[in-house]
Amino acid sequence: MKTRADRRTPEDTADKAGHSRRSERPRGETFVWMTAMGLTVGLTMIVFLLGLVVTNGVGVFWPRRVALVEFREDRDTRFQGGTKALGVITIEQDRDVRDLTIEQSESPHAADRREKQLFLGNRDAFGQAFSFFPAGDIQSVTYPDDVIRAERLEWGDALFFPVRLEMEDGTAVEADDPIFHSHLHRLVEDAAARRAQIHRIERYEIGRINLQMHQLEQEERYFARQDSLTDQQRSEREAVAGRMDELRAEYQPLADRAAELRSKQQRDILVYRLVTGEERSILVGQIVHHYYPNRLGVAGRAQIFAGQLWRFLSGYPREANTEGGIFPAIFGTFVMTLLMSVAVMPFGVMAAIYLREYARQGLFVRAVRIAINNLAGVPSIVFGIFGLGFFVYFVGGGIDRMFFDRALPAPTFGTGGILWASLTLALMTVPVVIVATEEALAAVPRGVREGSLACGASKWQTIRYLVLPAAAPGIMTGLVLAMARGAGEVAPLMLVGVVALAPNLPLDGLFPFIHLERKFMHLGFHIYDLGFQSPDSEAAKPMVFATTLVLILLVVALNLIATLVRNHLRKKYTADKF
Amino acid sequence: MTKQPPAKAIPERFIVRPATLWFDRFMNYFITVGGLSIIIAVSLIFVFILLQVLPLFRGAQVEPQDSFSVPQDDYVVMGTDEWAELPFFVNRRGELTFLDTVDPGGPHHRTAFTRAPAWLDETDVGVVVYNPLLSQLVYGTADGRFAILDVQYEATFPERGGREVSVELQETPLLSIGSTEVPVQHLAYGSSGTQAIVVVIQQVNERFEMHAVSLVQQRTLLGDGQWSVSQSYDLSEHLDAAPRHLLVPSDADAVLIGMDDGRVLFLHFDGQEFRKRQMFVPFRDRADRAIASMNFLLGDVSLVFTASCGANRIFSLYRDPQREVRVWGHTKTFPDLERGASFYSAAMRNKAFLIGDGRAASLRYGTTESIRWQDELPFSVSLAAIGPRYDRMLFLDDGHTLHSYRLDDPHPQASWRTFFGRIQYEGQAAPEFAWQSTGGRDDFERKLSLIPLIIGTLKGTFYAMIFALPIALLAAIYTSQFLRPGIKRFVKPVMEIMASLPSVVLGFLAALWLAPIISNAVPSVLLAVIAIVVAALVVGYLWGLLPQRIRVRLKPGYEFLAFVPVLLLVGYAGWQLGFVVERTFFIVPGESTGMQIADFRLWFPQATGLSFEQRNAFVVGFVMGFAVIPIIFTITEDALSNVPEAFRSGSLALGASRWQTAIRIVLPTASAGIFSAIMIGLGRAVGETMIVVMATGNTPVTEFNPFTGMRTLSANIAVELPEAPYLGTLYRTLFLGALVLFLMTFLVNTIAEILRQRLREKYRAVE
């Protein structure tokens, strides 16, 4: 006690004196720096994380040079038995200490303890798309001019040296022929156009017929199950059979047309040589697109980048989602969020108007307000399990028994679907909308209401013509926040209808246009599925990063809109206070 | 509008159109009803989840359904088909009487018919036992032989619906065992499909003899052939008291003999010979040690005993750690019955058993020590059976009436103890909390304790909070108290962007990007964290020592920017130092080469005996921090910023430094708000799903080791619900998990919300 008192005395007197040397140094500055550290770390974390996702996500589409790596003859490292490997150098890092031999760990060359990861492509030939090579064993790295990188419909990308093009008519163009490049380019373009045509026929025209046939088959099965048919049912059954025949007749020419186009896809062959010297061939129809990675300038790269990005955003997934595009996932997220907004908006706003304008403020309303606030904090998975139990099994099962009994036991609404997913998320986000709307209503000055009522407007007129318009931006903020939360949520969706690969979009050109019972794809679930369910998670990583970037951009954009609107509002109301 | 002044006084333009009034009244009504119903609908979530959970805690519903008269005889065995439609009874002479309980003719036209094995005219029957799982009767004859009788039920489903059950008997010839021409007193039989043994006990001139035979089945091209005796054993030497009970488990690897002095002898059979393994007394602590009944529970690794005094216990096989063999041990104790049991039947789908004496009948569940149902019946029971589908109970009373009871018990395993208590499952040496919902074997028993999941949830939350709390609070204090207001406008939205990051993105980064990095460099990460914290204090202190003319160059409120280079530098230095530390201290000999390897991942398990996984709580805590920091930050910052300006001004005017003002004036005033921020952050961490699903191995654990994963309540739902059959026990248990989660977060959030409202009122009072 004594020492403490001793220590404090001079300072206390100094404070009293007011102009001691010590008074220049305010107390606790050290700890201010400590708190500054908290903010710096927080900001660094977020900047770093966003930077990581952006660089990795964008980097996926940026064409990179393809290196020809030659290994030292006197070392053991070989690739497929040869001394050369062709690939994009993706990572350079220290090797795991456990893999090092004694000589390597004591070697004077640091390169002996490092390794390079190469993206090799050609999964069909090499088995794996990525491989690590010890950096110390590498003799030279060159970038040969005539390497082609081709995106294929199957087996991922291929890296190769072209040899020749073999056409259907028996002619061939050698790779050193000056017209080879333009020729190949034209053939690939033609094939892409045909592929789009086949896609259109199969997805939309044949798809429409398939959908109708599927419904008719359900009817047929239902009739077949019945013990005895009434006259009316019997004539119905005949009608179904007739309709079925019509559809089959419609189907045939379309199928023929698709088959004809398909056979054209098989005509031209590209012969190429791998780095190992092996010659292989590929149908030009199998090539999605191709480029010479080592010949490109910045403009060329940017062009390739834009093309790859566009194909990613607008294409359909291939190869268990690890290749191709994510259009169905973007579209599914969009439709689901839209449906959710349609469901959440009127209910949330109505509940908020009741709480703020109609209910007598008292203990009950206070309790309700606390409960609603808390509901926003209830874990999303709880809403998911509720959605499954209530919407899918209870309501959906009931609808099936009442309206879709002909399809049973195959469930129509009694299984996860976009409607149930939207409603589940609507329930989850309704507190967000209620809270935001209430705040917006509360921010409308009392004077506005009193003035309106004094002028003889009814309560509803006041709300309808004055309060709601004034609160509209605030309500919109709430809705946008709810959308952001809904768009980024995955856990409940996993239970109520999201799938890794949906055969059809929830919204398309076929009657009844919006298919509420369909399962759908979602960006968030796409990330989960790619990163964790795909057989080769290393190969899927670039796609996951790209998808992540899209999802983050979507959610952050929604949040920024909400924040901007809110800030704008604050200014507006602080400006014209009554 | 309420008063009606004289009509002519009002100019026409002031008259309200009735439509407006009507519409206003309608909207009043509509919004009130609509608003209330939305609020009710939302609160129904809780009710719905509760409704899904409640059936778990209901006991068995039993109600009498039907009764049938059975031909007068002295029955010793009762058996039934799968639907309990064609039960049979075996009398002392060995004849089977089948009773068709589904009446084909009229309402009271029940048919009974009798069958008997063909050899019955050759010899008399000494004893009959029935194995309901195999649906086999085994006879021991009066002349020292035995025979097996297969009761083969067959169900056909005719076109017109319904079901027809028929029966066929298939008998083996009599085989010799033990002393010939001496009646068999006790018999037990076990068959695993490849190995079978039959054990009999006979009384030869006041002395008990025990004989066993092992059987082999001739396999022919046409399928399974006849059983024949491969070897005989004389086990009489083991009998030193009068035997009362004899059992052989279905694996045919043991013989259990209950003696009349209360001891149980356990002989193990390894396929070649019988060896005595254990002798135990189930009721050692009771005055009367006599064993009234001794029976197997489903799976034949648990024995249900009753003493003559009525005590009811279960002994189970478990691996004795000292002897490294499986022995029997006391695992469960049930409430006493009136007397020792006179009838017993084990369920064929779960660990339930029906036990009783006279009029008292009790349906008990072995695993949970719970009584599913208990009643005084209006008749005295001589034989009882649980239907194979666990939907029916049959009682044969001493007046030769068969009573059929409907049994409705969809969740027999569920009880408070199952979910929240320690339970000793079969084969375990001690009671424990365990979650394991699926297993490889058919007779696998689900382990449904929520405790490992709750512990996992708390573990994840704990590590997330350890990391998030300091950063969020420090950042909030700095932002609200010291940061330039102009910069604050940008800082807050940036932090809020962090809150909006979808958790699936964080989970993906944690699992595929961060987990490999962290697991490679645990010492580096720890050192970098320590270095940054120490650097903050050191830089702050040194800065204070600098002369004023240098210090004025950095305006107050910009410290965080000045700290950025320090952070990067020190963080990097700490990171690199970590590798040096690892190379110096965390050295273990390599498994294959014997070389000294510096690797924390290998060192940690060796040094502490705990395991190290790549996807662990440490990683989850770190990444979950991203989700929790912005929440705590925003709310704390609001609470601090809303402290009335007068407080701050007053304190500063009295000469306190900005730190003193912040820590002694602002912080205590806003403490309730800060606490509520922590609570809300806690709620978010508790319910986080995707990060945990992706960034841990999802193994249920009951320890707090930072370098192993865990399974949280929420992750458990996400992982298991898609596979859970609708309305099954697992389905409802997952709803129970959701309910627990709901209540946990709701409670935490309510406390936070109430505190926040209090705080708001406090500020209002000051202003």
In three state form, how does the secondary structure of B63-79 look?
Answer: EEEEEEECCCCCEEEEE
B29 touches chain A (CB under 8 A): no
- DSSP letters of A196-240? HHHHHIIIIIIHHHHHHHHHHHHHHHHHHH-SS--HHHHHHHHHH
pLDDT digits (tens, 9 = 90+) for B612-626: 888 888 899 999 988
| pLDDT of B303 | 93
Give yes or no for residue B278 having a pLDDT over 50.
yes
In three state form, how does the secondary structure of B246-272 look?
Answer: EECCCCCCEEEEEECCCCEEEEEECCC
Contacts for A529-534: CB closer than 8 Å, 24+ residues apart: A529/A321, A529/A500, A530/A321, A530/A322, A531/B508, A531/B511, A531/B512, A531/B694, A532/B511, A532/B694, A533/A500, A534/A320, A534/A321, A534/A322
Q: In sequence order, which residues have a C-beta less than 8 Å from that of residue B78 and are 6 or more positions away?
A: B87, B88, B89, B90, B130, B383, B384, B385, B394, B396
φ, ψ (nearest 5 deg) of residue A473? -60, -40
| pLDDT of A9 | 40
B578 touches chain A (CB under 8 A): no
Structure tokens at B588: 């273990």
CB pair distance less than 8 Å for A28 and B660: yes
Contacts of B505 in chain A (CB under 8 A): 53, 488, 524, 527, 548, 551-552
CB pair distance less than 8 Å for B501 and A527: no
Question: Could you confirm whether domain B289-430 is CATH 2.130.10.10?
Answer: yes
In the three-class reduction of DSSP (H, G, I as helix; E, B as strand; rest coil), residue B356 is classed as: strand
CB pair distance less than 8 Å for B689 and A381: yes
How many Cβ atoms from other residues are within 10 Å of residue B9's Cβ? 7
The CA distance from B245 to B243, in Å, is 6
Question: Could you confirm whether domain B453-762 is CATH 3.40.50.2300?
Answer: no
CB pair distance less than 8 Å for B34 and A490: no
In contact, B699 and B712? CB cutoff 8 Å: no
Instruction: Work out the average pLDDT over B543-562.
Output: 83
Instruction: Work out the average pLDDT over B511-516.
Output: 88
Instruction: Work out the average pLDDT over B232-248.
Output: 89
Q: To the nearest whole angstrom, how far is the Cα of B673 from the nearest Cα of chain A?
A: 15
Q: To the nearest whole angstrom, how far is the Cα of B156 from the nearest Cα of chain A?
A: 20
Which pLDDT band, with edges at 50, 70 and 90, does B256 fall under? very high
Contacts of A227 in chain B (CB under 8 A): none
| pLDDT of B11 | 76
The CA distance from B30 to A358, in Å, is 11
pLDDT digits (tens, 9 = 90+) for A123-132: 888 888 888 8
Q: Which residue of B has its CA nearest to A25?
A: B544
Instruction: Work out the average pLDDT over A77-96.
Output: 84
How many Cβ atoms from other residues are within 10 Å of residue B251's Cβ? 16
| pLDDT of A1 | 40
- DSSP letters of B602-619? HHHHHHHS----SS-HHH
CB pair distance less than 8 Å for A461 and B24: yes
| pLDDT of A577 | 44
Instruction: Work out the average pLDDT over B602-606.
Output: 83
Q: Between A24, A37, A427, which is nearest B536 by CB?
A: A37
| pLDDT of A212 | 84
B652 touches chain A (CB under 8 A): no
Contacts of A24 in chain B (CB under 8 A): 548
Burial-class residue B72 by CB neighbours within 10 Å (0-12, 13-18, 19+): exposed
Give yes or no for residue B246 having a pLDDT over 90.
yes
pLDDT digits (tens, 9 = 90+) for B753-767: 888 878 777 777 765
CB pair distance less than 8 Å for A491 and B714: yes
| pLDDT of B1 | 46
The CA distance from B619 to B131, in Å, is 54
The CA distance from A475 to A459, in Å, is 20
Nearest to A77 by CA among A48, A111, A127, A42: A111
Instruction: Work out the average pLDDT over A399-404.
Output: 85
Contacts of B693 in chain A (CB under 8 A): 491, 528
Instruction: Work out the average pLDDT over A377-401.
Output: 91
Percent of chain B with pLDDT over 90: 29
Residue type, B532: I
Q: To the nearest whole angstrom, how far is the Cα of B528 from the nearest Cα of chain A?
A: 12
The CA distance from B129 to B291, in Å, is 19
pLDDT digits (tens, 9 = 90+) for A132-179: 888 888 888 899 988 999 988 888 888 999 988 888 888 888 888 888
Q: To the nearest whole angstrom, how far is the Cα of B285 from the nearest Cα of chain A?
A: 49
Q: In sequence order, which residues have a C-beta less than 8 Å from that of residue A414 and are 6 or more positions away?
A: A392, A393, A396, A397, A399, A400
> In DSSP terms, which residues pair with B396 in a beta bridge?
B383, B402
Give yes or no for residue A325 having a pLDDT over 80.
yes
Contacts of A375 in chain B (CB under 8 A): 42, 45
Contacts of A27 in chain B (CB under 8 A): 656-657, 659-660
The CA distance from B26 to B597, in Å, is 80
CB pair distance less than 8 Å for A377 and B734: no
Q: For the sheet containing B207-220, what is the strand order?
A: B184-191, B196-204, B207-220, B223-234
Residue A319: in which H helix or E strand, if any? Answer: none
φ, ψ (nearest 5 deg) of residue B626? -60, -35
The CA distance from B583 to A332, in Å, is 51
Instruction: Work out the average pLDDT over A4-10.
Output: 41
| pLDDT of A5 | 41
Q: Which residue of B has its CA nearest to A352?
A: B35
B471 touches chain A (CB under 8 A): yes
∠ CA A289-A294-A298, nearest 5°, is 85
Give yes or no for residue B224 having a pLDDT over 90.
no
Instruction: Work out the average pLDDT over A205-230.
Output: 81
Q: Between B734, B738, B745, which is nearest A377 by CB?
A: B745
Q: In sequence order, which residues have a C-beta less than 8 Å from that of residue A167 and are 6 or more positions away?
A: A173, A267, A268
Length of chain A: 578
Q: Between A28, A460, A527, which is nearest B659 by CB?
A: A28
| pLDDT of A328 | 92
Q: Between A42, A357, A375, which is nearest B42 by CB?
A: A375
Q: Identify from B12, B33, B38, B757 which residue to disrupt to test chain A contact, counting A C-beta atoms within 10 A and taking the largest count.
A: B38
Structure tokens at B71: 């031909």
Contacts of B496 in chain A (CB under 8 A): 559, 563
| pLDDT of B441 | 62
Give yes or no for residue B161 having a pLDDT over 90.
no
In the three-class reduction of DSSP (H, G, I as helix; E, B as strand; rest coil), residue B159 is classed as: coil
Length of chain B: 767
CB pair distance less than 8 Å for B501 and A357: no
Domain coordinates in residue numbering, chain B: 289-430, 453-762
Contacts of B626 in chain A (CB under 8 A): 45-46, 49
Q: To the nearest whole angstrom, how far is the Cα of B350 from the nearest Cα of chain A?
A: 26
Give yes or no for residue B131 having a pLDDT over 80.
yes
| pLDDT of B362 | 93
Q: To the nearest whole angstrom, how far is the Cα of B216 from the nearest Cα of chain A?
A: 47
pLDDT digits (tens, 9 = 90+) for A504-532: 888 777 777 788 888 899 999 999 988 88
In contact, B472 and B629? CB cutoff 8 Å: yes
CB pair distance less than 8 Å for A37 and B714: no
B509 touches chain A (CB under 8 A): yes
Q: Which residue of B has its CA nearest to A490?
A: B504
Q: In sequence order, which residues have a C-beta less than 8 Å from that of residue B667 and are 6 or more positions away?
A: B477, B640, B674
* Pairing state between β B96-100 and B88-91: antiparallel
- DSSP letters of B2-49? -S---GGGS-GGGPPPHHHHHHHHHHHHHHHHHHHHHHHHHHHHHHHH
Residue B216: in which H helix or E strand, if any? Answer: strand B207-220
In contact, B512 and A53? CB cutoff 8 Å: no
Contacts of B761 in chain A (CB under 8 A): none
Instruction: Work out the average pLDDT over B382-410.
Output: 91
| pLDDT of B642 | 85
CB pair distance less than 8 Å for B474 and A525: no
pLDDT digits (tens, 9 = 90+) for A407-444: 777 787 888 889 999 999 999 999 889 988 998 898 88
Q: Which residue of A has its CA nearest to B33?
A: A354
CB pairs under 8 A between A and B: 331
Percent of chain A with pLDDT over 90: 20
Which pLDDT band, with edges at 50, 70 and 90, does A211 fall under? confident
Residues 32-51 of chain B whose Cβ lies under 8 A from any Cβ of chain A: 32, 34-36, 38-39, 42-43, 45, 48-49
> In DSSP terms, which residues pair with B98 in a beta bridge?
B88, B113
pLDDT digits (tens, 9 = 90+) for A526-576: 999 888 877 777 778 888 999 999 999 998 888 888 878 777 766 665 544
Which pLDDT band, with edges at 50, 70 and 90, does B450 fall under? very high
Give yes or no for residue B331 having a pLDDT over 70.
yes
Contacts of B688 in chain A (CB under 8 A): 379
What are the CA-CA distances from residue B731 to residues A490, B55, B437, B489, B725 (Å)? 20, 11, 11, 48, 6
In contact, B232 and B209? CB cutoff 8 Å: no
Contacts of B663 in chain A (CB under 8 A): 28, 31
> In DSSP terms, which residues pair with B274 in a beta bridge?
B269
In the three-class reduction of DSSP (H, G, I as helix; E, B as strand; rest coil), residue A83 is classed as: coil
CB pair distance less than 8 Å for B42 and A484: no
The per-residue pLDDT of chain B, averaged, comes to 86
Angle between helices B451-477 and B617-641 (to 10 degrees): 40
Give yes or no for residue B474 having a pLDDT over 90.
yes
- DSSP letters of B270-313? -SS-EEEEEEE-TTTTSS---EEEEEEPTTSSEEEEEETT--EE
The CA distance from B88 to A172, in Å, is 85
The CA distance from B491 to B476, in Å, is 11
Q: Which residue of A has its CA nearest to B687?
A: A379
Q: In sequence order, which residues have a C-beta less than 8 Å from that of residue A308 and are 6 or more positions away?
A: A60, A61, A63
CB pair distance less than 8 Å for B694 and A375: no
pLDDT digits (tens, 9 = 90+) for B41-95: 877 888 999 999 999 998 899 999 888 888 888 899 999 988 888 889 998 888 8
Contacts of A372 in chain B (CB under 8 A): 39, 42
B23 touches chain A (CB under 8 A): yes
| pLDDT of A10 | 41
Q: Identify from A22, A33, A439 which residue to disrupt to test chain B contact, counting B C-beta atoms within 10 A and taking the largest count.
A: A33
Q: Which residue of A has its CA nearest to B732?
A: A389
Contacts of B491 in chain A (CB under 8 A): 39, 43
Instruction: Work out the average pLDDT over A19-23.
Output: 47
CB pair distance less than 8 Å for A528 and B472: no
pLDDT digits (tens, 9 = 90+) for A231-243: 888 888 888 888 8
Q: To the nearest whole angstrom, how far is the Cα of B646 from the nearest Cα of chain A?
A: 20
In contact, B394 and B385? CB cutoff 8 Å: yes
Q: Between A28, A37, A490, which is nearest B690 by CB?
A: A490
